[in-house]
Structure 1
Amino acid sequence: MTAFSLEPAQLAWCAELRTLAAERLRPLADKGEPGHVNRALVAELGSLGLLGRLFTSGALDLCLMRESLAYACTEAETALALQGLGAHPVHAHGTQEQRARWLPRVADGTAIAAFALSEPGAGSDAAALELRAEPESRPEPESPQGEGPPAAPALAAAPDGPARWRLTGEKCWISNAPEADFYTVFARTAPGAGARGVTAFLVPADRPGLTGRGLDMLSPHPIGALDFDAVPVTADDVLGAVDRGFRVAMGTLNLFRPSVGAFAVGMAQAALDATLAHTAGRDAFGGKLRDLQAVSHQVAEMALRTEAARLMVHAAASAHDADAPDVPGRSAMAKLLATETAQYVVDAAVQLHGARALQRGHLLEHLYREVRAPRIYEGASEVQRGIIAKELYARQEAR
């Protein structure tokens, strides 16, 4: 299979997902309370087996799921994506005990996951994060007089027990916070080391010293801030290796960035289809709207850009599944093109519908609110351009 065509079974699966989203997930989404986790919706995603597929599917299947769900129910798409984003580091880097405790509950929709990377001063520049993982130290006995200064404090550990740290600082703009059941948290374990001094921890929400508060955001799901007041963690909570957490974060984002693009493509397709129906049926100036060249050319441009974005998303996802060397650049291109395209398509659809599209409850009013955030989260468009340029120059220098 190439990146530019889908097998009949994949196309049938996408159609089935659209139907499930419209008939079973949309009603649950409509009953949710904005700004809070819709646990009934998450549980239904689990019962349909979609959450479990997060841990068995490749990047392309993830993109197909996200685009198909987004077409009919953006809330279901986002709920699925956030479960994957928060739990993927556990799936990919967790210990046997961590995986056994949390992944079955994520898969059946009874545990809510969250990915806690961003901070008030470290959003786009993830390597600049300041949440501190400070080692608990035990004092060493003073050296006898004349034998030099005492040794540096050792990392505290019970006999035959794990090393221990205390997390102190803040995370901000964290999806599913403060209502998640556990967080994948990235903290600095080596001051001044940039990306090389970050460690990923699995932190259950009930750890002492961990508190959170919701932020009033333009979002149907909760987004909040987390405060860490000497929250205890041990080596048993580490995901991957100490001081190598940035690899955990970037590996997760390289997987999910193309699928953010797929989310955007799903919204763009929904807006395009709504526009086709509206312009074909709307009477204006003695005919149908579609008979106006300015309108038909606009619709053609919307379709062109949507399909181009879809193809780039599929290409990036296929490259990820093939373990290609240029995954970061392709992932960045896919997210950048698709999210910017969706913004354009939804805005054009609103313009062609007129005032009715801005009425509360209209599909396009909903999409107009939903389409803006993907250009910022998981790396803003400007960050994606930086990644693309870095990859291009690195490739040129390697020739």
Structure 2
Amino acid sequence: MAGFALDPEQEQWCERLRALAAERLGPLAGKGEPGRVNRPLLAALGEHGLLERVFSAGALDLCLLRESLAYGCTEAETALALQGLGAHPVLSAGSAAQRERWLPGVRAGRTVAAFALSEPGAGSDAAALALAAEPDAAGGGGGGAGGWRLTGEKRWISNAPEADFYTVFARTGEGPGAKGVSAFLVPADRPGLTGESLDMLSPHAIGALRFDGVPVGPEDLLGEPGRGFRVAMDTLNRFRPSVGAFAVGMARAALDATLAHTARRTAFGGVLGDLQAVAHRVAEMATRTEAARLLVYAAAGAYDADSGAPDVPRRAAMAKLLATETAQYVVDHAVQLHGAVALQRGHLLEHLYREVRAPRIYEGASEVQRTIIARSLYGEHGQQAQHGQQAQQAQHGPAGVTR
């Protein structure tokens, strides 16, 4: 790829992943039930070492993994990504006991993880969480003193209600807004925890969870009390560029299908690709896809270089924004250029048309990404302006006289 070339080993790995997705994972995905967790598919991801790569790979390799799987089997990509999203807080903030108990099963595809952040009244504004963690001096998840009782609801949680454990964010009240949120690892069999499936456009499992005095103790905390919002944001910053990679994989699949279709479909005395209107649209689809791909890789590279750098959240937001909006554009125009055949159940583009819509909403809607970008830009501008004023004062002195 000109301008941002992958090395030969990376290119070969991506080719192997696309082949694996199409030949091995795709048939398993086809046997799954829409709206349910596909455990055989997860086991296959574990068997091939791909779930391990979610936790050990850098951000760029994670993007290559997700893009390649999405090209050949979106269900496999989604299953892999949800495991990473649900279990990454355990890896990054969990205790040694929590990691030893849960992560081997996640890596093997035996244990299903879920990331439980969204609520009926707190989607894009994650700091507005209402799930209450009330002090429970009598006990907690492990029966010790100093625990909490979780009461409230989570909604639009991927892998719910079938996950084996949930990373749950609740309000413990150490401070206002984000400062009073803590993260907990809650096993699915904890008393008082129930759930139901939601019938959604996306084909993977999504559900609602109800917490009726669910006991949790200090041993269930992920990180420190009142620091859970940081755990959530660190996880999202880690995965946002790779959400963009998922979108790029879908866009590339739609683009390649469109090239093949318009190169052979005859109309008006020639093939569709000979028509300038069609050729120009395909050129626009390809250009936008390439631009999104490069921005995703750049954001991942920035994260790998220094995940704590102040521009990393902005770069991640830009990558997710451009890639998901681009994928929507490309898939929509691919459907238009294919015509009615693309609307038939079972057609690749019919499948992608259903899949491509959700990424513009989850892990921060496009509007949230624009807000993150703008705040970062104005914050940086303000710092630069302040530094400029300080430099002028240092040069001219308090009275404006040159020193």
Q: Same fold (TM over 0.5)?
A: yes
Deviation of residue 6 (structure 1)? 1.3
Residue by residue, what CA displacement relative to the aligned partner does 1:6-35 show, whole Å, maximum 9, x if unpaired? 111111100100000001000000000000
Cα offset for 1:161? Answer: 4.5
Q: Deviations over 1:109-166 (max 9, x none)?
A: 000000000000000000000000100136xxxxxxxxxxxxxxxxx689x9552000
Pairing partner for 2:239 from 219, 232, 256: 256
Structure 1 regions of 5+ residues with no counterpart? 139-155
Structure 1 CA distance, aligned partners of 2:339 and 2:103? 46
CA distance in 2, matches of 1:118, 1:3: 38
| Structure having greater relative contact order (Cα 8 Å, sep ≥ 6) | 1
Cα distance in structure 2, aligned partners of 1:131 and 1:221: 25
Structure 1 CA distance for aligned equivalents of residues 77 and 161 of structure 2? 20
- Over residues 277-306 of structure 1, what are the superposed CA-to-partner deviations in whole Å (9 max), with x where a residue is unaligned? 000000110011100000000000000000
Q: 1:3 to 1:97 in 2, by over 3 A?
A: farther
Indicate the residue corresponding to 1:388 in structure 2.
Answer: 373
Q: In proportion to residue count, which structure has more helix?
A: 2
Query: Aligned equivalents of 2:73 and 2:137: distance in 1?
Result: 50
- Which residue number in structure 1 is paired with residue 184 of structure 2? 201
**SS of the counterpart of 2:183?**
strand
SS at match of 2:153: strand
- Following the alignment from structure 2 to structure 1, what is the Cα–Cα distance between the partners of residues 53 and 102? 15
Are residue 369 (structure 1) and residue 351 (structure 2) matched?
A: no
SS at match of 1:398: helix
Residue 306 (structure 1) aligned with residue 292 (structure 2): no
- The aligned counterpart of 1:137 is 137
On the 8 A contact 1:3/1:314 being kept in 2, the answer is no
Identify the residue that residue 151 of structure 1 maps to in structure 2.
none
Letter in 2 for 1:17: L
Secondary structure of the 1:11 match is: helix
Aligned pair count? 381
- Within the candidate set 304, 314, 322, 1:337 is matched to 322
Partner of 1:296: 279
Q: Which runs of 5+ in 2 are unaligned?
A: 385-403
Counterpart Cα distance in 2 of 1:171 and 1:56: 29
Distance (Å, rounded) in 1 between the aligned partners of 2:5 and 2:363: 27
| 1:365-397 Cα shifts (integer Å, max 9, x gaps) | 000000000000000000000000010011011
Equivalence for 2:59: 59
- State the SS of the aligned residue for 1:55: helix
What SS does structure 2 have at the residue aligned with 1:257? Answer: helix
Question: How is 1:228-243 mapped onto 2 (pairs within 5 angstroms)?
Answer: 228-243=211-226
**Deviation at 1:364?**
0.3
Q: Which residue of 2 aligns with 1:95?
A: 95
Alignment check: 8 A CA contact 2:133 2:172 kept: yes
Alignment of 1:169-208 (within 5 A): 169-190=152-173, 193-208=176-191
Superposed structure 1 runs of 4+ greater than 4 Å apart:
none
What is the CA RMSD across the aligned residues, in angstroms? 1.6
Following superposition, the deviation at residue 362 of structure 1 comes to 0.5
Distance in 2 separating the partners of 1:262 and 1:124: 21
What is the one-letter code of the residue matched to 1:229? D
Q: Tell me: CA distance 1:307–1:397, structure 2 relative to 1, closer, same or farther (3 Å).
A: same
